[in-house]
Amino acid sequence: MSAKLDPGELMMIPIDKIDVLNPRERNKAAFEEIVGNIQAIGLKKPITVARRAGESGSERYLLICGEGRMKAFCSLGEKTIPALVVDVSDEDAFIMSLVENIARRKYRALELLAGIEQLRDRGYDKKAIAKKIGLTVEYVQGILILLNSGEERLLVAVEKGKIPLNAALTIVGAGDDDKAVQAALQDAYESGKLRGKQLLQARRVIERRLSLGRSVARGTPRKIQDVTSSSLVRTYQKEVERQKQMVRKAEIAQQRLLLVVGALRQLLADENFTTLLRAEGLDSLPKYLAERVWPVGRAA
């Protein structure tokens, strides 16, 4: 990589000549906010592009930073956009784009993980990655261990703050054996790595990891070995217990309803009580109760 980057030249660039280097999905509400801000006060910060040669020698530009601003301009019907044109290599352009996405104040967990993974795949070691994205070397090293193990579910839990990184590494070290994982969880609790709410969250993550696999990506096939006879029995037993609880709750509700209906029948058989209710304007019942208290269905 170059030691010093060109400060760049500010220009108006045709949007249809810009190619996106590192595209990403965008939250609809956040995008609408960008559009509204640009429509109200204009573009406060130009996008950043690098000049590249297109087919037949035509001039094109590689987008480095500002995909959301450029899309907002397109949605507003603009054909050109203010851009800072810098002279950088493809490698520098990629790093600038990646770091800009990661360094946003509100990034999604998977975006950060994908960024670290891309830097690793390009040959950067943990120290270089940590320096570029502003994280500690120890943190990056832990993330790389989880990435190399394919522990995407644990990675997301770590990035969302549900469980600490050192606890996730302890779980990974236990392998796929359920008893070993539970023992690692116990050790993490006793050593102070997990406390209070984090312990409950860690248990949920582990249960989902065992039943659904390590990946959270949509469309990712589950490994056959993740579904065992014991896991199927556990799932069946949980469902049976859930059904039993529903039946018990329904029986309790029915008993209470019968008790209420019996009590109302006795009270309404008393002429003095019904006279008092009529005087107070309380001589009607909801339909579902009236149909049970009075066979003729004297509902409200």
Antiparallel, parallel or unpaired: β 47-53 and 80-86: parallel
Beta strands in the chain (DSSP E): 9-14, 18-20, 47-53, 59-65, 80-86
pTM greater than 0.85: no
Q: What is the pLDDT of residue 81?
A: 92
Regions of the chain short of the pLDDT cut 50: 1-5, 105-107, 218-227, 297-300
Q: What is the pLDDT of residue 35?
A: 85
Q: What is the pLDDT of residue 129?
A: 78
What span, in angstroms and rounded, lies between the C-alpha atoms of 292 and 258? 9
